[in-house]
Amino acid sequence: MVRSNSQETGWSVFSYVPYKNVTERLLSLRLIFLVLCFFTVLFIVIASLFVSNSFTKPIKQMQNAMKAVKNGILSTKIEHDRNDEFGDLYNGFNKLTGQLNTMIDNVADARRSEETAKYHMLMSQINPHFLYNTLDSIRMMSVFRNQPEIAKALLHLSNLFRYSIKQRDEPLTVREELSQAENYLSLQKLRFQDDIEISYEIDDNVLEQKMPKILL
């Protein structure tokens, strides 16, 4: 019911408006409001999924790449065309795996080179050992055949070979160096006979001093 008073006549006018007519406009507004709410929520959900996917997908891609490297697939690369922070992260990951592969290859090459060097060093030792062992055998044959001069010369030569192939980089004593000098000079004496005379003047106080190998 709607009431209206007239000041001129003092009458009151009553009018009846059906409830449906009053709420009909409100219903349409409520319907519009609900539709707007629905589309707003739908937009928010889609936008949230899009934003979430834009972050979670590249992170998931990075996680998968890291798991692959952890499982030993060191050639893993992340293919992408991104120019954002994730692109920088992917580039850094690819660079890191590349450097890791290079380091592993270098270590493997170094190990192979080391093994090859050890093999060649062993082979280089076999020949000298065979040589001075053979000299020792010939020297013993000279001893058995009563040829002391030949046996003595072979002994000096064998000692020189043994001394020269020692794998020692540290300095040796003067006494050791003099011993090798005597072996060498004895062989020279055998060659030149009376054309060479050898005399030694050695201070006993320096015999235990250190000096480089084969310097004398």
Q: Tell me how long the chain is.
A: 216
- pTM here is 0.37
pLDDT(125) > 70: no
* 39 is a domain residue: yes
Q: Is 31 domain-assigned?
A: yes
pLDDT value at residue 39? 92
CA–chain centroid gap for 203, Å, is 54
Report how far residue 132's alpha carbon sits from residue 123's, in angstroms, rounded to the nearest whole number: 15
The total of structural domains in the chain comes to: 3
Beta bridge pairs of residue 14: 3
Closest by CA to 61, choosing from 81, 83, 86, is: 86
Q: What is the pLDDT of residue 42?
A: 92
pLDDT band at 138 (very low <50, low <70, confident <90, very high): confident
Sign of the CA dihedral running 76, 81, 85, 86? negative
Tell me: do 52 and 93 sit in the same domain. Answer: no
Q: Are residues 186 and 154 in contact, defined by beta-carbon separation less than 8 angstroms?
A: no
Tens-digit pLDDT profile for residues 73-122: 777 888 877 787 878 888 888 888 888 888 888 888 888 888 888 877 76
Residue 152: inside a domain: no
What was the pLDDT predicted at 203?
Answer: 92
Q: Spell out the SS3 assignment of 160-202.
A: HHHHHCCCCCCCEEHHHHHHHHHHHHHHHHHHHHHHCCCCCCC
Summarize pLDDT for 144-187 with one digit per residue, the tens: 778 787 887 878 877 877 777 665 567 889 998 898 888 888 88
Same domain, 105 and 55: no
Same domain flag for 132 and 81: yes
Res 126 pLDDT > 70:
no
